[in-house]
Amino acid sequence: MGLERIKIAKRVAEELSDGEVINLGVGIPTLIPDYLGDKKVYLQSENGLLGMGPTPDDEDINMDLISASKKPITMDTGASLFDSSDSFVMIRGGHVDLAVMGALQIDQYGEIANWAVPGKTILGVGGAMDLVAGAKRIIIASRHLAKDSSPKLVKELTFPSSGVRKADMLVTEHAVFKFTDNGTELIEILSDMSVEELRKITGADFTYGDE
């Protein structure tokens, strides 16, 4: 299971370009920095840091230098600190090149549901809706199926939407999908599944190749 998550993180890492400013959501996206190779990107943490570095040694931990997941972090060379309102000027004003986030569901046009499950307590939205509305590009990094084995990529959302802005891409352990106004396009298979097998475990229709 951990391997599938790493596979997704590695594939998303290929999408990142040198010099980009990137916000990584909780879960699988936090694994991405380990697979960047020689690429230099700048990680934005919405609690007020641009230029997030790796986890510190125990003796260097300061719980007032933390990530949005509330874990201790360090600052990269060239890092800057700012307050929450400036941080969301960055996010909502379209200054963040890419947001990578998880999703509970995503529809065939790339509309995202990633903050609430129907019938369950809904007490947290965090910065998800701000990132959905404001990031220049959005990649969803997620397992292909939910814990109850239902497909995450669906025709229509049954979970509450995170905003009208659509994601650009979905990377799962099985495939990479792109979203356009015409719907979902399969652009790459990452596992040993055939296209037909993939269709069976996917809730939305998708095109592949010249079809």
Partner 1 sequence: MEKLIDRSDFLKLIDNGDTLLVGGFGLSGTPLTLIDELAASDKKDLTVVSNNLGEEGRGLGKLLLTGCLKKAKGSYFTTNRDAVQAWSDGKLEIELVPQGTLAEAIRCGGAGIGGFYTKTAVGTKVAEGKEEREFDGETYILEKAIKGDVSLVKALKADTLGNLVYDHTGRNFNKVIATAGKIVIAEVDEIVEVGELEPLEIVTPHVYVDYVVKNKYEKKGGKYIGS
Residues that bind partner 1 (CB under 8 A): 45-49, 58-66, 68, 70, 72, 75, 81-85, 87-88, 91-92, 116, 121-130, 132-134, 160-165
* 2: exposed, middle or buried (Cβ count in 10 Å: 0-12, 13-18, 19+): exposed
d(CA 36, CA 161): 31
Least Å distance between CB 49 and partner 1?
6
Closer to partner 1 by CB, 70 or 200: give it. Answer: 70
Nearer Cβ to partner 1 (81/146):
81
Structure tokens at 6: 């790493």
Tell me the C-alpha to C-alpha distance, in Å, between residue 101 and each of 7, 27, 59, 119, 197: 15, 8, 31, 23, 26
Residue 179, SS3 per DSSP: strand
Q: Clarify whether 197 is annotated catalytic.
A: no
Reported residue count of the chain is: 211
HSE on the CB side for 89, CA within 13 Å? Answer: 8
Q: How far is the CB of 150 from partner 1 (least distance, A)?
A: 21
Active-site position among 4, 14, 20, 46: 46
The 8-class DSSP code of residue 106 comes to E
46 in Cβ contact with 88 (< 8 Å): yes
Instruction: Give whichever of 56 and 191 is closer to partner 1, judged by the CB atom.
Output: 56
Q: Which of 197, 175, 202, 200 is nearest to 187 (CA)?
A: 175
Query: At closest approach, how far in Å is the CB of 151 from partner 1?
Result: 22
**Residue whose CB is less far from partner 1, 44 or 202:** 44
CB of 96 to partner 1, least distance (A): 11
**Which residue lies nearer to partner 1 by CB, 22 or 135?**
135
The residues pairing with 42 across neighbouring beta strands, listed in sequence order, are 21
Q: Which stretch of DSSP H or E encloses residue 177?
A: strand 175-180
Query: Nearest distance from residue 89's CB to partner 1, in Å?
Result: 8
Supply the residues annotated as catalytic. Answer: 46
